[in-house]
Amino acid sequence: MIIYYKTKTPLIEKFREEFECSIYEEPSFAQKWGFGKDIQNPDIYFHSGNLKSSDLELMMKSKKIIVNSNTIKSQIVAKTNSTITNNRIEVIYPYTSVLKFKKKKFKKAFKDIHNIDKKTKLIYFTAKNFEKTGVIQFLKILQNLESTNFKGVISATPEQLKALVPVLKEMNLSDKVVLAQGDIFRASDIFVLPTSNKLFASNVLRAMACKCVVFVTDTNHSFEIVDNFSIMNAPDDPSIIHKIDMLLQNPDEIKKIQKQNFIKAKEFTFDEQYKKLI
């Protein structure tokens, strides 16, 4: 079996360990001109990242294509004028770890460190690229909330956090936002990602697995795994402000959605996704 991938993942590595696979090699100059060994095209093409014309050319020659969203699947069919049909493409979403843990324990530890009242809800944002993932939009959401029983939390590198200090001061949010390092998902109540990035945001799955309410834009491919309530029509979708305000006034609803998201995340563990691949 010949496979092709741009990015090696644990899922692909396990697949290679269990099955006899060789990696697709770009044809040599001689092969392109019909000399030497025949060109062997991939049996399975594992696609990741943006969709380029060179990807489509090789997909056309592949027997099976695996992508991580239905959006990418539809794009492939459309861009090849249905030459590549739906039944040649399989969707396997990214996976996440789902661990048993007591959320109250993590929330208490974080709140104790930062001197936050135990009844205060934590609204979280984290990302590698602040500009594309909507940190300013996140802050504007916090700025416009009517409820006061919340603290915003942003985690990032020290350099990114340092750059946010004057921004928070300018927006009068210095007292409402905690800047931290590390993973704060398990302590958080609500995770908001007003991103303009299209590729599947793994943090959405991570947040669901850590029992958070999640909001994400409909242009990011991760919107496919959340319910309609959680989808933002744009990074500056004003309806999210009202939804978060409603949640902050209704703690039982927060717990209900957190539980639903945790159960949903169990569908996307490594073992479950590997079963689909097999």
| Mean pLDDT on 75-87 | 94
Mean pLDDT of the chain: 92
| Strand order through the sheet with 64-67 | 22-23, 2-5, 44-46, 64-67, 89-91
CA dist list (Å): 48 to 6, 98, 142: 7, 23, 33
| Mean pLDDT on 37-56 | 87
pLDDT above 60 (res 268): yes
pLDDT above 90 (res 131): no
- For residue 221, count CB atoms less than 10 angstroms from its CB and return exposed for 0-12, middle for 13-18, buried for 19 or more: buried
Of 3.40.50.150, 3.40.50.2000, 3.30.750.24, 3.40.50.12780, the CATH number of 103-267 is 3.40.50.2000
Tokens of 190: 């609500």
Q: What is the pTM of this model?
A: 0.92
- Cα–Cα distance between 278 and 269 in angstroms, integer? 14
Residue 198 near residue 175 (C-beta atoms within 8 A): no
How many helices (H) and strands (E) are present in the chain, helices listed first?
A: 12, 11
Q: What percent of the chain has pLDDT over 90?
A: 86
pLDDT score, position 27: 63
| Mean pLDDT on 68-74 | 96
- Per-residue pLDDT tens digits for 154-197: 999 999 999 999 999 999 999 999 999 999 999 999 999 999 99
- Per-residue pLDDT tens digits for 208-244: 999 999 999 999 999 999 999 999 999 999 999 999 9
- Residue 130's pLDDT band (boundaries 50, 70, 90)? confident
- Cα–Cα distance between 146 and 148 in angstroms, integer? 6
- Cα–Cα distance between 45 and 50 in angstroms, integer? 14
pLDDT score, position 30: 45
pLDDT above 90 (res 40): no
- Crossing angle of helices 135-143 and 158-170, in 10° steps, is 40
| Mean pLDDT on 199-207 | 95
- Residue 34's pLDDT band (boundaries 50, 70, 90)? low
| Mean pLDDT on 254-271 | 97
Report the amino acid identity of residue 251. Answer: P
pLDDT above 90 (res 39): no
Q: What percent of the chain has pLDDT over 70?
A: 95
pLDDT score, position 99: 87
pLDDT above 60 (res 35): no
